[in-house]
Amino acid sequence: IVFRNAIEHNDVEIVAVNDPFIEPHYAAYMLKYDSTHGQFKGDIKVDGNNLTVNGKTVRFHMEKDPA
């Protein structure tokens, strides 16, 4: 919910997301087809470990111990 809301505001810049439990393709799917908040109307693309949402590229990490 936070990511979805923030990505729609030009004054907020998300540069990276870390979720050790899901892969970028599944994250894109969950963003696009949210059963609670409805389908995301924007453009979502996955390129390796990058999510591009509405033209904004966000690096996706899957680190269990980012320290």
What does the H/E/C string look like for 16-67? Answer: EEECCCCCHHHHHHHHHEECCCEECCCCEEEECCEEEECCEEEEEECCCCCC
Report yes or no on 67 lying in a domain. Answer: no
Number of structural domains (the chain) is 1
Report yes or no on 66 lying in a domain. Answer: no
| pLDDT tens sequence for the chain (67 residues) | 789 889 888 899 999 999 999 999 999 999 999 999 899 999 999 999 999 999 999 999 999 998 8
Domain that holds residue 46: 1-61
Report yes or no on 19 lying in a domain. Answer: yes
CATH number of 51's domain:
3.40.50.720
pLDDT at 8: 85
